[in-house]
Homo-oligomer: A and B are copies of this chain.
């Protein structure tokens, strides 16, 4: 039960709703390095996790290069102290970026709330002025 679970490229494409081309592209630029069985790519659970992180980064608007920095945080190929120190700096940078995103998102949610309220108000007013066939279920609710 050590390395029992493996995935094909199609498995991952289906699971994450992306194309195989996308997955191969990530390999082209060195974000993924699956094993091979002959020609065919074999993805481990770790590869799957890396892919998940990449796609999360994408949803957050990170470039693939930025995602690389994040994914590499979880890579056990960081040994010496200097690397660890630059690593903490990287983490700090990512944290700052993400924190700013959090602020932006909260602002945007607030904006959406306001926009929705204004919209509802306008709709209410419109229905009141011209309830040509819409006055049916017009309980106060």
Q: Scan A49-85; emit 1 where CB is below 8 A from any B CB, else 0.
A: 0000100111111100000001001100000110011
**Measured CA separation A102–B59 after assembly (Å):** 10
B104 and A73 contact, CB distance less than 8 A: no
Which of the candidate stretches A1-9, A15-23, A92-100 sits at the interface with the other chain?
A92-100
B115 and A56 contact, CB distance less than 8 A: no
**Measured CA separation A53–B102 after assembly (Å):** 15
Once A109-B95, A120-B88 are accepted as A-B contacts, the answer to whether A104 and B60 lie under 8 Å apart by CB is yes
Interface residues, chain A, with chain B CB atoms under 8 Å away: 53, 56-62, 70, 73-74, 80-81, 84-85, 87-88, 91, 94-95, 98-102, 104-105, 107-109, 111-112, 115-116, 119-120, 122-123, 126-127
